[in-house]
Amino acid sequence: MKGKAGANSGRSGGRASRGRAAGIGAKKNPQIRQAGRLAEASVGSPSLAPPEESPHYLGHRRRLRERLVVGGPGNLPDYELLEILLFAQNPRGDVKPLAKRLIEDFGGLAEVLSAESEALAAAGLAMAGIAAVKSVREAALRLMRAELRQREVIGSWDNLIAYCNAEIAWGQVEEFHLLFLDRKNALIRHEKQQKGTIDHTPVYPREVIKRALELGASALILVHNHPSGDTTPSKADIAVTRDIAKAAAAVNIALHDHLIIGRGGHTSFKDLGLL
Protein backbone atom coordinates (compact mmCIF):
# COMPACT_ATOMS: atom_id res chain seq x y z
CA MET A 1 0.00 0.00 0.00
CA LYS A 2 2.83 2.35 0.82
CA GLY A 3 4.40 1.59 -2.47
CA LYS A 4 1.22 2.43 -4.37
CA ALA A 5 0.66 5.55 -2.32
CA GLY A 6 4.18 6.64 -2.95
CA ALA A 7 3.81 6.06 -6.64
CA ASN A 8 0.55 7.98 -6.72
CA SER A 9 2.15 10.74 -4.72
CA GLY A 10 5.01 10.81 -7.15
CA ARG A 11 2.67 11.05 -10.12
CA SER A 12 0.61 13.75 -8.40
CA GLY A 13 3.73 15.64 -7.60
CA GLY A 14 4.82 15.38 -11.21
CA ARG A 15 1.50 16.71 -12.40
CA ALA A 16 1.65 19.54 -9.86
CA SER A 17 5.16 20.38 -10.95
CA ARG A 18 4.11 20.46 -14.57
CA GLY A 19 1.05 22.56 -13.66
CA ARG A 20 3.24 25.03 -11.81
CA ALA A 21 5.61 25.12 -14.74
CA ALA A 22 2.75 25.75 -17.15
CA GLY A 23 1.44 28.46 -14.87
CA ILE A 24 4.83 30.15 -14.81
CA GLY A 25 5.00 29.92 -18.60
CA ALA A 26 1.52 31.43 -18.92
CA LYS A 27 2.50 34.37 -16.77
CA LYS A 28 5.43 35.05 -19.05
CA ASN A 29 3.54 34.57 -22.32
CA PRO A 30 0.17 36.36 -22.85
CA GLN A 31 -0.59 34.14 -25.88
CA ILE A 32 -0.51 31.08 -23.62
CA ARG A 33 -2.97 32.74 -21.24
CA GLN A 34 -5.31 33.52 -24.11
CA ALA A 35 -5.11 29.95 -25.42
CA GLY A 36 -5.92 28.69 -21.96
CA ARG A 37 -8.99 30.86 -21.67
CA LEU A 38 -10.23 29.67 -25.05
CA ALA A 39 -9.70 26.06 -24.03
CA GLU A 40 -11.62 26.59 -20.81
CA ALA A 41 -14.47 28.24 -22.68
CA SER A 42 -14.78 25.23 -24.97
CA VAL A 43 -15.00 22.69 -22.15
CA GLY A 44 -18.44 21.13 -22.05
CA SER A 45 -19.34 22.35 -25.55
CA PRO A 46 -20.45 19.38 -27.64
CA SER A 47 -19.34 21.04 -30.89
CA LEU A 48 -18.40 24.38 -32.37
CA ALA A 49 -21.30 26.59 -33.48
CA PRO A 50 -21.85 26.53 -37.27
CA PRO A 51 -20.74 29.66 -39.12
CA GLU A 52 -23.40 32.27 -39.68
CA GLU A 53 -24.91 32.40 -43.16
CA SER A 54 -24.00 35.35 -45.37
CA PRO A 55 -26.66 38.08 -45.51
CA HIS A 56 -29.09 37.58 -48.39
CA TYR A 57 -28.22 40.92 -50.00
CA LEU A 58 -24.64 39.84 -50.74
CA GLY A 59 -25.82 37.24 -53.22
CA HIS A 60 -28.38 39.70 -54.55
CA ARG A 61 -25.66 42.26 -55.29
CA ARG A 62 -23.61 39.73 -57.19
CA ARG A 63 -26.59 38.64 -59.26
CA LEU A 64 -27.56 42.25 -59.95
CA ARG A 65 -24.08 43.10 -61.20
CA GLU A 66 -24.09 40.00 -63.41
CA ARG A 67 -27.43 40.99 -64.94
CA LEU A 68 -26.09 44.48 -65.62
CA VAL A 69 -22.89 43.28 -67.29
CA VAL A 70 -24.13 40.16 -69.08
CA GLY A 71 -27.70 41.11 -69.94
CA GLY A 72 -27.12 44.83 -70.38
CA PRO A 73 -28.35 47.79 -68.31
CA GLY A 74 -31.49 48.11 -70.44
CA ASN A 75 -32.85 44.99 -68.77
CA LEU A 76 -32.81 46.55 -65.31
CA PRO A 77 -35.71 48.63 -63.97
CA ASP A 78 -34.95 52.11 -62.71
CA TYR A 79 -34.84 51.17 -59.05
CA GLU A 80 -32.22 48.47 -59.68
CA LEU A 81 -29.97 50.86 -61.59
CA LEU A 82 -30.24 53.27 -58.68
CA GLU A 83 -29.66 50.41 -56.27
CA ILE A 84 -26.31 49.65 -57.93
CA LEU A 85 -25.29 53.28 -57.50
CA LEU A 86 -26.27 53.13 -53.85
CA PHE A 87 -23.96 50.21 -53.14
CA ALA A 88 -21.47 53.00 -52.35
CA GLN A 89 -23.91 54.40 -49.79
CA ASN A 90 -23.91 51.21 -47.73
CA PRO A 91 -21.28 48.62 -48.73
CA ARG A 92 -22.80 45.88 -46.55
CA GLY A 93 -26.46 46.70 -46.20
CA ASP A 94 -29.61 46.19 -48.24
CA VAL A 95 -30.20 49.38 -50.26
CA LYS A 96 -33.16 48.19 -52.36
CA PRO A 97 -35.75 49.77 -50.00
CA LEU A 98 -33.85 53.09 -50.12
CA ALA A 99 -33.67 53.03 -53.94
CA LYS A 100 -37.40 52.38 -54.25
CA ARG A 101 -38.24 55.09 -51.73
CA LEU A 102 -36.08 57.70 -53.48
CA ILE A 103 -37.73 57.04 -56.83
CA GLU A 104 -41.16 57.24 -55.24
CA ASP A 105 -40.38 60.43 -53.28
CA PHE A 106 -38.71 62.30 -56.14
CA GLY A 107 -41.00 61.00 -58.87
CA GLY A 108 -38.56 58.96 -60.98
CA LEU A 109 -34.95 58.09 -61.68
CA ALA A 110 -34.35 61.24 -63.75
CA GLU A 111 -35.57 63.39 -60.87
CA VAL A 112 -33.27 61.60 -58.42
CA LEU A 113 -30.25 62.03 -60.69
CA SER A 114 -31.06 65.73 -61.21
CA ALA A 115 -31.80 66.52 -57.57
CA GLU A 116 -29.68 69.00 -55.64
CA SER A 117 -27.24 67.63 -53.10
CA GLU A 118 -29.21 69.20 -50.25
CA ALA A 119 -32.38 67.43 -51.33
CA LEU A 120 -30.59 64.08 -51.59
CA ALA A 121 -29.13 64.55 -48.13
CA ALA A 122 -32.54 65.39 -46.71
CA ALA A 123 -33.86 62.18 -48.28
CA GLY A 124 -31.33 60.12 -46.34
CA LEU A 125 -28.27 59.86 -48.57
CA ALA A 126 -24.82 60.15 -47.06
CA MET A 127 -21.84 61.73 -48.81
CA ALA A 128 -20.90 58.48 -50.59
CA GLY A 129 -24.39 58.04 -52.01
CA ILE A 130 -24.67 61.67 -53.13
CA ALA A 131 -21.26 61.47 -54.81
CA ALA A 132 -22.27 58.31 -56.67
CA VAL A 133 -25.48 59.90 -57.99
CA LYS A 134 -23.75 63.14 -59.01
CA SER A 135 -20.82 61.43 -60.68
CA VAL A 136 -22.90 59.16 -62.91
CA ARG A 137 -25.07 62.09 -64.05
CA GLU A 138 -22.04 64.20 -64.86
CA ALA A 139 -20.43 61.32 -66.74
CA ALA A 140 -23.54 60.97 -68.91
CA LEU A 141 -23.63 64.71 -69.64
CA ARG A 142 -19.96 64.75 -70.58
CA LEU A 143 -20.49 61.90 -73.00
CA MET A 144 -23.32 63.78 -74.70
CA ARG A 145 -21.31 67.01 -74.71
CA ALA A 146 -18.37 65.27 -76.36
CA GLU A 147 -20.63 64.19 -79.23
CA LEU A 148 -21.70 67.81 -79.77
CA ARG A 149 -18.07 68.91 -79.95
CA GLN A 150 -17.31 66.41 -82.68
CA ARG A 151 -19.98 67.48 -85.13
CA GLU A 152 -21.99 70.48 -86.27
CA VAL A 153 -24.58 71.29 -83.64
CA ILE A 154 -27.11 72.64 -86.12
CA GLY A 155 -26.95 69.37 -88.05
CA SER A 156 -27.31 67.31 -84.85
CA TRP A 157 -30.47 68.92 -83.56
CA ASP A 158 -31.94 65.81 -81.98
CA ASN A 159 -28.70 65.25 -80.04
CA LEU A 160 -28.74 68.87 -78.94
CA ILE A 161 -32.31 68.63 -77.64
CA ALA A 162 -31.52 65.37 -75.85
CA TYR A 163 -28.50 66.98 -74.22
CA CYS A 164 -30.46 70.05 -73.12
CA ASN A 165 -33.23 67.85 -71.71
CA ALA A 166 -30.72 65.84 -69.70
CA GLU A 167 -29.03 68.99 -68.48
CA ILE A 168 -31.91 71.17 -67.27
CA ALA A 169 -35.36 69.68 -67.99
CA TRP A 170 -35.69 68.30 -64.47
CA GLY A 171 -34.49 71.38 -62.60
CA GLN A 172 -36.66 72.79 -59.84
CA VAL A 173 -35.78 76.43 -60.62
CA GLU A 174 -35.10 78.32 -63.84
CA GLU A 175 -31.57 78.22 -65.22
CA PHE A 176 -30.18 80.19 -68.15
CA HIS A 177 -27.49 78.41 -70.18
CA LEU A 178 -25.30 79.48 -73.08
CA LEU A 179 -23.90 77.29 -75.84
CA PHE A 180 -20.93 78.93 -77.56
CA LEU A 181 -20.19 77.72 -81.09
CA ASP A 182 -17.23 78.13 -83.43
CA ARG A 183 -17.33 79.02 -87.13
CA LYS A 184 -18.25 75.45 -88.02
CA ASN A 185 -21.07 75.50 -85.47
CA ALA A 186 -19.32 72.95 -83.26
CA LEU A 187 -19.64 73.39 -79.53
CA ILE A 188 -16.81 75.36 -77.92
CA ARG A 189 -18.22 75.59 -74.44
CA HIS A 190 -21.42 75.22 -72.45
CA GLU A 191 -21.89 77.46 -69.44
CA LYS A 192 -24.66 78.16 -66.97
CA GLN A 193 -24.90 81.92 -66.74
CA GLN A 194 -27.66 82.39 -64.22
CA LYS A 195 -29.82 80.46 -61.78
CA GLY A 196 -33.08 82.04 -60.67
CA THR A 197 -36.40 81.18 -59.08
CA ILE A 198 -39.13 78.81 -60.13
CA ASP A 199 -40.40 81.23 -62.80
CA HIS A 200 -37.70 83.83 -63.42
CA THR A 201 -34.01 84.05 -64.22
CA PRO A 202 -32.15 87.37 -64.52
CA VAL A 203 -30.25 87.64 -67.81
CA TYR A 204 -27.80 90.40 -68.74
CA PRO A 205 -27.16 90.76 -72.50
CA ARG A 206 -23.91 92.63 -71.95
CA GLU A 207 -22.47 89.71 -69.92
CA VAL A 208 -23.58 87.22 -72.57
CA ILE A 209 -21.78 89.06 -75.38
CA LYS A 210 -18.73 89.74 -73.23
CA ARG A 211 -18.29 86.03 -72.53
CA ALA A 212 -18.80 85.13 -76.21
CA LEU A 213 -16.02 87.51 -77.20
CA GLU A 214 -13.72 86.09 -74.52
CA LEU A 215 -14.21 82.59 -75.92
CA GLY A 216 -13.91 83.67 -79.54
CA ALA A 217 -17.37 82.32 -80.33
CA SER A 218 -18.95 82.94 -83.73
CA ALA A 219 -22.47 81.91 -82.73
CA LEU A 220 -24.72 81.36 -79.74
CA ILE A 221 -27.64 79.21 -78.71
CA LEU A 222 -29.57 80.32 -75.65
CA VAL A 223 -31.20 77.66 -73.47
CA HIS A 224 -33.33 77.94 -70.39
CA ASN A 225 -35.88 75.74 -68.64
CA HIS A 226 -39.43 76.18 -67.41
CA PRO A 227 -39.86 74.02 -64.29
CA SER A 228 -43.64 74.22 -64.73
CA GLY A 229 -43.34 72.16 -67.91
CA ASP A 230 -45.08 74.82 -70.03
CA THR A 231 -42.53 75.90 -72.65
CA THR A 232 -44.53 78.85 -73.96
CA PRO A 233 -42.24 81.92 -74.13
CA SER A 234 -43.09 84.73 -71.75
CA LYS A 235 -42.96 88.41 -72.74
CA ALA A 236 -39.75 88.70 -70.73
CA ASP A 237 -38.26 85.72 -72.62
CA ILE A 238 -39.03 87.36 -75.96
CA ALA A 239 -37.71 90.76 -74.88
CA VAL A 240 -34.36 89.52 -73.55
CA THR A 241 -33.85 87.33 -76.63
CA ARG A 242 -34.28 90.33 -78.90
CA ASP A 243 -31.86 92.36 -76.78
CA ILE A 244 -29.20 89.64 -76.98
CA ALA A 245 -29.73 89.18 -80.72
CA LYS A 246 -29.27 92.91 -81.30
CA ALA A 247 -26.12 93.08 -79.14
CA ALA A 248 -24.67 89.96 -80.80
CA ALA A 249 -25.26 91.27 -84.32
CA ALA A 250 -23.34 94.43 -83.44
CA VAL A 251 -20.16 92.34 -82.93
CA ASN A 252 -20.85 89.88 -85.77
CA ILE A 253 -21.98 86.99 -83.59
CA ALA A 254 -24.97 84.95 -84.78
CA LEU A 255 -27.77 83.95 -82.45
CA HIS A 256 -29.01 80.67 -83.89
CA ASP A 257 -31.84 79.97 -81.49
CA HIS A 258 -33.29 80.24 -78.03
CA LEU A 259 -34.62 76.96 -76.65
CA ILE A 260 -37.05 76.66 -73.77
CA ILE A 261 -36.83 73.20 -72.21
CA GLY A 262 -39.57 71.54 -70.19
CA ARG A 263 -40.17 68.03 -68.92
CA GLY A 264 -42.77 67.44 -71.60
CA GLY A 265 -41.00 68.97 -74.58
CA HIS A 266 -39.27 72.08 -75.86
CA THR A 267 -39.93 75.30 -77.79
CA SER A 268 -37.66 76.88 -80.40
CA PHE A 269 -37.78 80.64 -80.94
CA LYS A 270 -36.61 80.12 -84.49
CA ASP A 271 -39.45 77.70 -85.21
CA LEU A 272 -41.91 80.26 -83.82
CA GLY A 273 -40.52 82.97 -86.08
CA LEU A 274 -39.21 84.98 -83.12
CA LEU A 275 -35.66 84.98 -84.49
125 and 212 fall within a common domain: no
Higher pLDDT, 266 or 38: 266
C-alpha closest to that of 106 among 115, 98, 97:
115
Residues 167 and 226 in one domain: yes
Specify whether 109 is located in the same domain as 214.
Answer: no
Out of 21-35, 86-100, 143-157, 217-231, give the one with best mean pLDDT: 217-231
100 & 186 share domain: no
Q: How many CB atoms lie within 10 A of CB 181?
A: 24
pLDDT band at 16 (very low <50, low <70, confident <90, very high): very low
In terms of domains, do 207 and 236 share one?
yes
Strand 265-268 relative to strand 187-195: parallel, antiparallel, unpaired? Answer: unpaired
Number of domains comprising the chain: 2
CATH number of the domain enclosing 177: 3.40.140.10
Q: What is the mean pLDDT of residues 97-112?
A: 94
Q: State whether 87 and 168 are in the same domain.
A: no
**CA–CA gap between residue 150 and residue 207 (Å, rounded):** 27
Among 109, 140, 171, give the residue marking a domain's end: 140
66 and 125 share one domain: yes
- Domain enclosing residue 106, as ranges: 56-140
Q: Domain boundary at 111, 140, 169, which?
A: 140
